[in-house]
Amino acid sequence: MSSCSRLAAKARLALLELSGAGKKDQASWDRAHVHLKEALTSQPHSPELRALYTYFLFETFQHRQARDFARSTLKEVSRHDLYALCASGIISYLEARENKQDTKEAVRERQARYVRSAEFFDKALQLDPMCAIAAQGLAIGLAEGALGNSNDGSSTTAVNGSSSSSTAITDAQSRQRNARDALIILTKVKESINESSVYINIGHCHIARDEFERAAENVRRICSEDLSTFDD
C-alpha cells in the first residue's frame, strides 16, 4: 500500500471512529486522535488532513485547541485556507457569545471577538463568494446584534443613565433592520445548505420581526422534511 493510501485509510478510520462515537465515547475519540496524529506526522501540511483534525477537535469539544490549530494553519500553511477561516470565524463567535460578564473589559473583549469572527467570515467570502458557511456566520452575527450599534448587544441608554424612549425605538428599528438583512442572506444560504440550522436561524429572524407564523412555518419545515442536523 502506498503512503498516500495509508494516509487516506487512517483518515477514514478516524472519521468512522468519530461518526460512530457518542458524546462521551472517549475510547473512540482516543482512537480517532491516534489515527489523525499518525497521518499528520507524515503529512503535516496537508490541507485536507488539517481540516479533518480541526473538525475532530471541534466535534470533541476542544474548542480552544481547534482555534489554535486552525489559526496555525492560516499562519504556517496558507492564509487562504477556506476551512481554517470558517472554523476560526465560528470559534471566535462562540467565544464571544459564551463571555457573559458585564464588566467594561469583558464587553470590549466580547465585541472584539465578534468583529474578529466577522473578519474571518468576510475573508472567506472574498475567496469564495458562494461559501454558505461564511455567509450564514455573518448573518447570525448581524441578526443577533453582535455587529450592530451596541457594544454588548443590549439596548443603549441616554447620557444621563436613564432609559430614553427615542433610543429604545431606534434600537428596535435597528434589530428589525438587522433581522431583515440577515433573512436576505439566510434565504440564499438555504439554497446551498439544506439543514435544520439554517431554518432555525431563519425562524429566529422572523421572531425578531414579530413574524411568528412565518417562524412557525420554518420549524414545521424541519419536522416535515428530512433535513440534516448537528449537535450543539
pLDDT at residue number 117? 92
pLDDT at residue number 157? 31
Q: What is the DSSP string of 131-199?
A: -HHHHHHHHHHHHTTTTSSSSSSSPP--TTSS--HHHHHHHHHHHHHHHHHHHHHHHHHTTT--BHHHH
Q: What is the Cα–Cα distance from 158 to 164, expressed in whole angstroms?
A: 6
Residue appearing with cell numbers 420581526? 209
Q: How big is the CA angle at 60 (ends 19 and 111), to the nearest 5 degrees?
A: 130
Q: What is the Cα–Cα distance from 87 to 190, expressed in whole angstroms?
A: 19
pLDDT at residue number 165? 43
pLDDT at residue number 67? 95
8 A C-beta contact, residue 204 and residue 143: yes
pLDDT at residue number 51? 96
pLDDT at residue number 226? 56
Q: What is the Cα–Cα distance from 31 to 202, expressed in whole angstroms?
A: 38
Mean pLDDT (10-residue bins), the chain, 232 residues = 73 86 75 93 94 94 95 96 97 91 89 91 94 91 65 37 47 80 87 84 87 89 64 41
